[in-house]
Structure 1
């Protein structure tokens, strides 16, 4: 699965710059993990997970895992969503899509433009989850579904599980999407985006987790991580400069 360029324009990869950017994002990744662990621990420790939204979301997620591991996997459905996301992001970037191919063995689109967001969008955006929520909102606008809120969250959990499981399985494959921008850079962005989605779903399904509290926790961990690594980097550079100066001094004498 991937993107085929339908023009003669070369892809400017700038691998070293992307790898450098990915390296600077590692503390942010650690901050997201720490925030998710902290909020999840608080939720489980105080029994705040015992609400309709959380239980429904978790049930949907577990149902999908059972389907994924025990039944034939609907890979063609994943490929369809994967290539649709490529195409949608290409259109949003003003590109033209010349062909769209989907099968149970893989798929691809042909376009005249590519980029980081176009290439990595299927691994970052849970398309079926967004479509499920949009469909729910449209139907609820005309026919009240307030009595079936559990179904909304169960569907979110199931479709998020679909996205999460297939994304993990694709990350170990030799995907052209990753080769285009580098595996390290791609994996860091994908992990960071999906951790953010996990935080969003935790806040959406748990009334005890406020958006403000989540933002403060994330900001605190970001400050701690970047302060720690900043001090480590400055200390390391200081030692390197000191050794260089002393070596030059000894050479000059």
Structure 2
């Protein structure tokens, strides 16, 4: 949870109200006082920002469907002669995911929640630094946490829900270790750990979204935040499939995604016509 530092007023400093004469003169001449004019401009910017986020949230719904459809096609048309579901990469990824889900639903120790909060807040902090902000404090407990930063935006607020923190650390550490040692014989361990850490991220992300009060989501509005989180997580799963399974090259994936996007509206209209005809008849 990212919080900007509070602005503290110096002791003894008082904000004097504007003179009534100035207000009356401004009303008579048709000119608004500076504080009212700036307040209206700020409200206009906030309204435009909210409308843009609602619009992009609506756009993320078809984007998520197109991405899911493309992902489904890649999985069901795997290059492996045995099919995607029979590959060792998927088998060991699934094993790691199943191990974590067993812990999540049966043995969710406070240590696990603490580790999630730790990754959550440090992802906030990393995103703030990427956005050229300053992080002055990080608080982590099993019950929650926060960071203090002088900058906040939708990327900083939503970054823990789209970046699998421990999976990124795992892959970065694996790549560094490969520079020194031959790890090909231990790739099954990597797939298990990727499945475990990625499912750790997904399960806690869903759990956090389901909470009634979540300032990270409320910052940009849930109508924008949830579709955006869904879309980006589907893109990340697609990236895992392309890199780990070699189901398609990036160019092939983009071509398939573009084809599905180009035909989305005609297919949607055709489906709507069929549904309308069904109920009309």
TM-score above 0.5, yes or no: yes
Quote the residue 2:2 is aligned against. 3
Instruction: State the distance in 1 between where 2:247 and 2:222 align.
Output: 37
Cα deviation, residue 96, structure 1: 1.1
- Normalising by structure 2, what TM-score? 0.75
Correspondence 1:66 to 2:88: no
Distance 1:70 1:209 in 2: 37
Q: CA-to-partner distance for each residue in 1:142-184, whole Å, 9 max, x for gaps? A: 1221110111111111111011100011111121011110001
> 1-side partners of 2:214 and 2:97: how far apart?
26
Structure 1: give runs of 5+ residues left out of the alignment: 233-253
Cα distance between partner residues in 1 of 2:75 and 2:91: 14
Shift of the 77–229 alpha-carbon distance from structure 1 to 2, 3 Å rule, reads same
Preserved contact between residue 136 and residue 147 of structure 2 (Cα < 8 Å): yes
**1:170 aligned onto 2:208:** yes
Unpaired runs of 5+ residues, structure 2, are: 8-41, 272-281
Structure 1 distance, partners of 2:106, 2:259, is: 41
Q: 1:146 to 1:26 in 2, by over 3 A?
A: same
Find the partner of 1:90 among 122, 128, 146.
Answer: 128
Describe how 1:1-253 pairs up with structure 2 within 5 A: 2-8=1-7, 13=46, 14-43=49-78, 47-49=82-84, 50-73=86-109, 74-173=112-211, 174-226=213-265
- Deviation by residue 1:65-108 (Cα, 9 ceiling, x = unmatched): 11211212411100000000000111111111121100000000
- Which has more radius of gyration? 2
Aligned length: 230
Question: Is this contact kept in 1: 2:241–2:247, CA < 8 A?
Answer: no
Measured in 2, the distance between the counterparts of 1:28 and 1:133 equals: 27
Q: How far, CA to CA, are the matches of 1:231 and 1:116 in structure 2?
A: 35
**What is the alpha-carbon distance in structure 1 between the residues aligned to residue 257 and residue 4 of structure 2?**
38
- The higher-RCO structure (CA 8 Å, 6+ apart) is 1
* Aligned-partner SS, 1:102: strand
Distance 2:125 2:240 in 1: 26
| Superposed CA RMSD | 2.4
Cα deviation code 1:185-236 (max 9, x no counterpart): 000110000011111122233234443332222111111224556999xxxx
